[in-house]
Each structure stands twice: as structure tokens, then as C-alpha cells.
Amino acid sequence: MQYALAHARYQLLELVRTPVAVFGSAFFPAVAMLFFVVPAVGDDAVGATYATAAMVTFAVLSANVFQYGVGVAEDRAQPWDPYLRTLPVGPAPRFAGRVLAGLTLTYLSLLPVVLIAALLTEAHTTAAGFALAAATVALVSVPFTLMGLAIGYALPSKAAIVVAQLVFFPLAVGGGLLTAPGQAPAFIEAIAPFLPTRGAVELMWTAVGDFRPDPLSMVMLGVWIVGLATLAGWAYRRDEGRRFS
């Protein structure tokens, strides 16, 4: 555990030296809250609560896809990376440290969204709902962490940036993160259950309100997790093989 914490501390120090990384993860969800959620449903307690949960999911998607996708690809290009892979402790502490640092960044990126919701809207939930939502954030981070790792280990940094940008917005829109439950256009409602963002946001809606998740969305979320874990594992092994072949 101490090695994982050491790696997490190293990752967080890197983030502190480049605070724009934290700013970037928090910027778009906060802007969406200010320009869309507050004027549209700010006075509607139920609508504002669900919209805030959607923006939280938006922030989780952004933080994990870009932090892991771009961050891992950039780390692989550094001469320090091959040395770390030769250490006798193995890859597990490094991976665990990266995940801990990623969760910390994710929670930090949520602060502006939560503050805007608390100060400028009628969004509300119970103390138990808030605690459950906070725990759900870690759960819904899993598929997007795996997606970012797959991108980061499979592609060089310049390509990883492009691919992260290409998958981010379609997943957000297609998963219904920019609309209230059941109010997206028919095309979005048709494809949303098959995207990981829909399953993630439905778990968040369930945590903060009286919402029942769609079984199809939950099944597909599990399918995405298994598929992305397989892809991330393959990308890591391929990268490992290239470096030491």
C-alpha cells in the first residue's frame, strides 16, 4: 500500500505543477451548469437535481478519459517510464497510485458543479443521497478510467488527444447527459441505453432522486466495463511487449 500511495503522491505533485489539468476537467461541466442548467431548470428542484447529477457524470467522463487517455500516453513517452517498469514491486502499485490520483482529480473537478448547484439552483437531496452519490462517483468512474487507460496505452500522445476528444462529446450527448430523463430526442433515447454514459448517469440519478435505472442500461454498462477492461489489458500487454522485445 505504501508504494501505491507513493505513486499517487507523485501523480498529484505532477498535477499541482500543472494546475490547468484540474481546471480543464472542471471547466466544461461548470460552464454547462451556468449557461444551461441554472437558467433552464434552476427553479425546478427535481429538474435541477437530475441536471446536477448529469453534470457530475459529465465531469467524471471528462476527468477520466482525458487524464488517463492523455496522461498515460504522455508518461509512456518519458524516459522515466521504462525504468519504473523494471522495478521489482511490479505494475500493481503504480496502477493503484494512478487510480487514487485520478479519483482525487475527479472529486476536485466536481466541486464547482456542486457549489453552483447549491448556491444558484433549487437542487437538493438528502444527506444519505449525497453520501450515496459521492460513493457512486467512484463506481461510475470505472468504465471511463478503463477507456482512458485503453487509449493511453494503445496510442502515442498526439493521437491519444485526438481520440479522447472524438469519443468524449458523442458519449456525453449520446448518453443523454445534456437532457433530463426521458426528454432527449427520440434518436438519443434509442441509442442511449447502449452507451456507458447512460448507465453511469442513471446510477447517479438513482442515488440523488426517485429514479429507477433501465435494466438494459445496467447490462450494457457491465458489458462496456468488461470490454474496456479487456481492451485496456491488451493495450498494456502490447505496449509492454514492444518495450522489452
**Which pLDDT score is estimated for 18?**
62
User: How many beta carbons lie within 10 A of that of residue 158, not counting itself?
Assistant: 11
* CA distances (Å), origin 19, targets 173, 240, 243: 27, 30, 31
Q: What does pTM read for this prediction?
A: 0.88
Which carries the bigger pLDDT value, residue 82 or residue 47?
47
Section 212-219 average pLDDT = 95
Amino acid symbol at 48: A
pLDDT band at 199 (very low <50, low <70, confident <90, very high): very high
Instruction: Classify residue 135 as exposed, middle or buried by CB count within 10 Å of its CB (0-12, 13-18, 19+).
Output: exposed
Q: Are 177 and 36 in contact (CB under 8 A)?
A: no
Section 138-165 average pLDDT = 91
- Flag whether pLDDT at 194 surpasses 90: yes
